[in-house]
Amino acid sequence: MTRLAIAMDLGTSGFRAQAIDLTSYEIISTAITTRHPLPGANVIDHIHFALEIGADVASSIVIRAVNNVIGRLHIPADKIDRLAICGNPIQLSLFQGIEIRDLAYAGKRKLEALGVVPPKREATVLAAKNIPNLNLPGECDVIIPPAVRHEIGADALAMMIQTKMLEKEETSLTTDYGTNAEMALFHDGQVFTGSTAAGPALEGQQITCGMLAVPGAISNLNPEPPHHRVIVLNTEMFAAQGPLVNLKDGTTIEEGDICPVGITGTGTVAIMEQAMAVNLLSIPRINTVDTELRLGEDICFTEEDLVEAGKAIGSVRAGHITLCHEAGITLEDIRTAYMSGASGTYVDPLKAQKLGM
């Protein structure tokens, strides 16, 4: 009898899940929300909502959204053996329904004055029945990774473990590229961690024609001189050939296999890098007549988008520089950089590197 598992990421900008066949380890289905269920665009907004309206209300909203995502996977609930869930400490705490005020306030005295006892956020396996209103079989295992510190999320922690970076002698860096970019630098036997408020631009949000990674989203841009080939996600979420376009005016030189409808985060990075390569972009300006890059008749990348993406990339780079400063090294001393998160996993690493990511 086929048994199933679900891997779910409670991201700052939305929830993502995949159903997995535990026999073949094949991915059966994927479900993604287009935004976070709580109001706001970052973890500060989410925790503020929980403090003002009530942590129990915030937790119930999160659980309801998780149930909706599970339902969208279209798999039989009685076949689900486990749910592996990750996210930053705030998202995981809301999911578990545990204390969050220790994540909101700084200082031991403040927490003591409020009577807050920080809960243990160690790795744990719970029965689904112990998480109120979670629509899974009662004995289904819910696997929750540890929250080591406020600023290091499960994605970055998993990358540290998976790559075995802590077992190597070289200086290395891992970054979870998302709305809340968590990062860890390993140097001379020590781990330095931090996070930056990158914002949602790297996930295709707050961009004029931006969108999450869904079918029709531009995920990459490749040169075919003197024009550029748009790469678009198809219905199976694989990269497919889009149209060949003139970035200056959006003229379609050659039709592709799929028509783009918007730009995702990895596409944003690729557009900026390719435009810089052909001198159509010199920060903070776009060097075209209408100060826009055109990727088709109805899709553009504006100077306002450039500012938003620049904030995100600059925030991440500032985080990297800060960690290096704390470790007493420079960026040039880093031998290997690992990328995780939705954007980090699928972005063209060479294009990202050229932008200073």
The better pLDDT of the pair 92, 34 is held by: 92
Confirm whether 151 is domain-assigned: no
Q: How far apart are CA 36 and CA 15, in angstroms?
A: 7
Confirm whether 160 is domain-assigned: no
Please spell the DSSP secondary structure of 200-250, one letter per residue.
GGGGT-SSTTB--S-TTEEEEEEEETTEEEEEEE-TTS-EEEEEEE-TTT-
Same domain as 226, residue 115: no
Going by pLDDT thresholds of 50, 70 and 90, the confidence category of residue 23 is very high
Check pLDDT > 80 for residue 150: no
Question: Per the structure, how many domains does the chain have?
Answer: 2
Same domain as 213, residue 126: no
Q: What is the pLDDT of residue 244?
A: 96
- For 94-103, 150-159, 191-200, 333-342, which range has the lowest pLDDT when averaged over its residues? 150-159
Q: What is the pLDDT of residue 229?
A: 97
Confirm whether 158 is domain-assigned: no
The better pLDDT of the pair 189, 156 is held by: 189
Check pLDDT > 70 for residue 155: no
Same domain as 348, residue 296: yes
Let me know: does 29 contact 74? Beta carbons within 8 Å.
yes
| CATH classification of the domain holding 58 | 3.30.420.480
Q: Tens of pLDDT along 88-146?
A: 888 999 999 999 898 888 778 888 888 888 888 888 999 999 999 999 999 999 999 88
Q: Please state, in angstroms and as integers, the Cα–Cα distance from residue 268 to each residue in 305, 317, 350, following that order.
A: 9, 17, 14
Same domain as 189, residue 105: no
Same domain as 204, residue 98: no
Confirm whether 189 is domain-assigned: yes
Pair of tokens at residue 186: 């390993």
Given 127, 144, 161, which residue is the final one in a domain? 144
Pair of tokens at residue 64: 């309801």
Average pLDDT over residues 27-42: 88
Average pLDDT over residues 264-269: 92
Going by pLDDT thresholds of 50, 70 and 90, the confidence category of residue 149 is low
Q: What is the pLDDT of residue 1?
A: 57
Percentage of the chain modeled with pLDDT above 70: 97
Cα 312–Cα 318–Cα 322 angle in degrees, nearest 5: 150
Same domain as 302, residue 345: yes
Same domain as 213, residue 123: no
Pair of tokens at residue 250: 């959006």
Pair of tokens at residue 161: 């473990």
Q: What is the pLDDT of residue 116?
A: 87
Going by pLDDT thresholds of 50, 70 and 90, the confidence category of residue 148 is low
Average pLDDT over residues 28-49: 88
The residue among 264, 355, 247, 267 whose CA lies nearest residue 311 is: 355
Average pLDDT over residues 32-57: 89
Let me know: does 198 contact 222? Beta carbons within 8 Å.
no
Q: What is the pLDDT of residue 196?
A: 84
Same domain as 220, residue 77: no
The residue among 191, 198, 192 whose CA lies nearest residue 176 is: 198
Confirm whether 221 is domain-assigned: yes
The residues, any chain, with a CB within 8 Å of residue 149's CB and separated by 6 or more, are: 89, 193
Same domain as 283, residue 179: yes
Note down the domain range covering 9.
Answer: 4-144
Confirm whether 162 is domain-assigned: no
Q: Tens of pLDDT along 208-237?
A: 999 888 899 999 999 999 999 999 999 888
Average pLDDT over residues 230-255: 92
Q: Tens of pLDDT along 281-325?
A: 988 899 999 999 999 889 999 999 999 999 989 999 999 999 999
Confirm whether 159 is domain-assigned: no
Let me know: does 280 contact 252? Beta carbons within 8 Å.
no
Going by pLDDT thresholds of 50, 70 and 90, the confidence category of residue 87 is confident
Same domain as 188, residue 68: no
Same domain as 191, residue 138: no
Going by pLDDT thresholds of 50, 70 and 90, the confidence category of residue 334 is very high
Given 90, 125, 144, which residue is the final one in a domain? 144
Pair of tokens at residue 133: 């209103």
Please spell the DSSP secondary structure of 157-197, one letter per residue.
HHHHHHTTGGGSSS-EEEEE-SSEEEEEEEETTEEEEEEEE
Confirm whether 20 is domain-assigned: yes
**Could you give the count of Cα atoms lying within 13 Å of 37 in the half-sphere of its Cβ?**
21
Q: What is the pLDDT of residue 103?
A: 86
Same domain as 250, residue 313: yes
What is the number of residues in the chain? 357
Q: How far apart are CA 38 and CA 61, in angstroms?
A: 7
The better pLDDT of the pair 24, 196 is held by: 24
